[in-house]
């Protein structure tokens, strides 16, 4: 029998560690002197102590060390346990290496004042499809789409002052907050990619995207995008919300007579929307107009319906002087159309 000091020297475990493993039930001494409490260990337990020391150095949990000690009579079982632990260590090392690379990339982004946005290409393309129709034409004031990072990911906004469309999409954002207006040619290139991931790098004077095996580059527009949140009504509740079937409403708008108006020498058609006594949406004639109706550009309305996609949409009517909102139920994308004054 050997004393605790001798076992400590023979195994590489500290005396305090041997006391701990005794208390934990992992390596209980063969004998304990009832008079002085001295612990005594057998030769077999010295072998167990050496095993414990090795397992402790490779980070095996205490519960598994206890199992390994009990399995000492079955070397194959101990080897299997060691193999499983080795695989866990290798997986953990791979995870740590990936995280270190991510941290280095984040530091690079901070040093370069660059923001990196990563998201599925299909999600980005669908969100751009939902707002692209509202962007000004290349000769307009805002011929682009605003990309703005948020706590949840990315907000996409387009407007030509007569209509506005907004979509929010989940994304992984690394680096400082970013707000950049991308030109329409680059936006349309991004819309054409529907598979894989998009990695978008934004700086104050450049845009670089890796998408679908292609590298797309451009420069943000040198414009100050307006505060689109002011146009959203600051959270005011609309007078009425009505759910419509997109295809049905589109057919009704297309078939209904459309009064015309003129702006800057160009004629355009309008649609008057209101509610019937039952609270359903109705298309009104021009001579029926009242304070309960809203008039909007018919082409803009049809484009907003197309951007909303198939199925149902929710229209928010707020009288003749407030915008008409067209929302996709359950999603963070919608458009608003400025009213036409009659």
Q: Quick one: what percent of the chain has pLDDT higher than 90?
A: 57
The string of pLDDT tens digits covering residues 264-294 is 888 999 999 988 888 899 998 888 777 778 9
Please provide the distance, in angstroms rounded to a whole number, between the alpha carbons at the two ends of the chain.
Answer: 105
- Please determine, for residue 60, whether its predicted confidence score (pLDDT) is greater than 80: yes
- Please determine, for residue 148, whether its predicted confidence score (pLDDT) is greater than 80: yes
The string of pLDDT tens digits covering residues 210-252 is 988 899 999 999 888 888 877 665 456 777 889 999 999 999 9
CA 53 – CA 8 distance, rounded (Å) = 10
What is the chain's Cα-based Rg?
A: 34
Lookup result for tokens 């907050």:
177
Residues 6 or more apart whose Cβ sits within 8 Å of residue 233: 318, 322, 323
Q: Looking at residue 119, what is its pLDDT? A: 95
Q: Cβ distance 162 to 241 under 8 Å?
A: no
**What domains lie within the chain, and their CATH numbers?**
2-83 (1.10.1660.10), 115-218 (3.10.150.10), 233-337 (3.10.150.10)
Q: Say what the pTM is.
A: 0.65
Cα dihedral: 134, 182, 130, 249 (round 10): 10
Q: Looking at residue 112, what is its pLDDT? A: 64
Q: What average pLDDT does the segment 62-81 reach?
A: 91
Q: What average pLDDT does the segment 22-44 reach?
A: 91
Tokens standing for residue 78:
């101990």
- Based on the number of CB atoms within 10 Å of its own CB, is 256 exposed (0-12), middle (13-18) or buried (19 or more)? middle
Q: Looking at residue 236, what is its pLDDT? A: 62
CA–chain centroid gap for 182, Å, is 20
């Amino acid at each position: 029998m050997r004393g605790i000091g001798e076992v400590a020297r023979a195994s590489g475990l500290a005396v305090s560690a041997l006391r701990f493993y005794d208390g934990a039930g992992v390596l209980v001494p063969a004998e304990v002197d009832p008079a002085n409490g001295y612990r005594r260990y057998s030769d077999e337990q010295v072998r167990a102590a050496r095993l414990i020391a090795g397992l402790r150095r490779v980070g095996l949990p205490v519960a598994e060390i206890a199992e390994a000690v009990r399995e000492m009579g079955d070397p194959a079982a101990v080897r299997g346990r060691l193999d499983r632990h080795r695989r866990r260590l290798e997986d953990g090392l791979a995870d740590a290496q990936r995280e270190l690379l991510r941290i280095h990339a984040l530091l690079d982004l901070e040093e370069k004042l660059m923001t990196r946005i990563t998201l599925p290409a299909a999600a980005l393309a669908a969100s751009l499809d939902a707002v692209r129709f509202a962007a000004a034409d290349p000769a307009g004031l805002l011929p682009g789409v605003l990309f703005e990072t948020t706590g949840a990911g990315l907000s996409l906004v387009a407007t030509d002052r007569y209509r506005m469309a907004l979509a929010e999409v989940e994304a992984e954002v690394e680096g400082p907050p970013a707000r950049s207006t991308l030109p329409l040619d680059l936006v349309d290139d991004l819309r054409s990619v529907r598979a894989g991931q998009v990695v978008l790098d934004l700086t104050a004077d450049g845009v670089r995207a890796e998408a679908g095996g292609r590298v797309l580059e451009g420069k943000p527009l040198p414009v100050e995008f307006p505060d689109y949140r002011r146009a959203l009504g600051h959270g005011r509740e609309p007078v009425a919300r009505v759910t419509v079937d997109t295809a049905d409403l589109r057919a009704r708008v297309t078939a209904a007579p459309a009064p015309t108006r003129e702006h800057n020498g160009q004629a355009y058609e309008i649609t008057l929307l209101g509610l019937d006594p039952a609270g359903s949406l109705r298309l009104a004639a021009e001579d029926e107009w009242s304070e309960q109706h809203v008039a909007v550009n018919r082409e803009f309305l049809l484009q907003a319906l197309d951007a909303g996609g198939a199925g149902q949409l929710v229209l928010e009517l707020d009288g003749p002087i407030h915008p008409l909102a067209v929302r996709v139920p359950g999603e963070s994308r919608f458009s608003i159309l400025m009213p036409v004054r009659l």
